[in-house]
Amino acid sequence: MPTVAATIDVSTLYASHGDWLRDWLRRHTRCSHRAADLAQDTFCRLLEAKDAQPVRDPRGYLSTVARRILIDDIRRREIERAYLAVHAVRTGEVDHLTPERIAEAAQLLGAIVDLLETLPEKARRAFLMIRFDRLRYAEAGRQLAISERMAKRYVARVYAHCYALAYPDG
């Protein structure tokens, strides 16, 4: 195991331990997509850290940060599930498919399709590959003949576009 005695260099940590961290998280979550999201959150947390301290055991450090993020994620999901259960009981929407709900869902789906059709082709295809086909950014980039970074930018632009349309006042 390599020893790093310098302050945190996130790009070096990512290059040398990113795959290991995703595998570690995959073993703990049993979901490769969730593991990839949590690994990304881990590196984002490192980028946001203001006090860069020397790191002697990079994998130990990464697993500690990732474990804390995983615990936060589990808590957030539990709160979300509890809220949705209470909301369903209060509103009477306990998995009853009514013609009105089906029509509303079809209308919403139509609006989403219309929204996606307004996007540039590569941005739309990158978004669909990553969010619905569950491809990794790198694989979507290869299929679109763009870089992984550009695939991430396209998806971020689609989200920003959706947000701007959903919340026009800010």
Question: What is the per-residue pLDDT across 60-100, written as a single tens digit (0 to 9) for each?
Answer: 999 999 999 998 888 888 888 777 777 777 776 665 667 88
Angstrom distance (rounded) from CA 2 to CA 55: 11
pLDDT at 93: 62
Answer yes or no: is 91 within a domain: no
pLDDT at 3: 40
Answer yes or no: is 31 within a domain: yes
The first and second tokens of residue 50, run together, are 């203001």
Surface-to-core class of residue 126, CB atoms within 10 Å of its CB (0-12 exposed, 13-18 middle, 19+ buried): buried
The first and second tokens of residue 36, run together, are 């990839």
Q: Which residues of the chain have pLDDT under 50?
A: 1-6
63 and 104 both lie in a single domain: no
pLDDT at 99: 82
pLDDT at 4: 41
Per the structure, the complete domain to which residue 117 belongs is given by 97-166
pLDDT at 95: 59
pLDDT at 161: 83
pLDDT at 1: 43
Answer yes or no: is 123 within a domain: yes
106 and 48 both lie in a single domain: no
Number of domains in the chain: 2
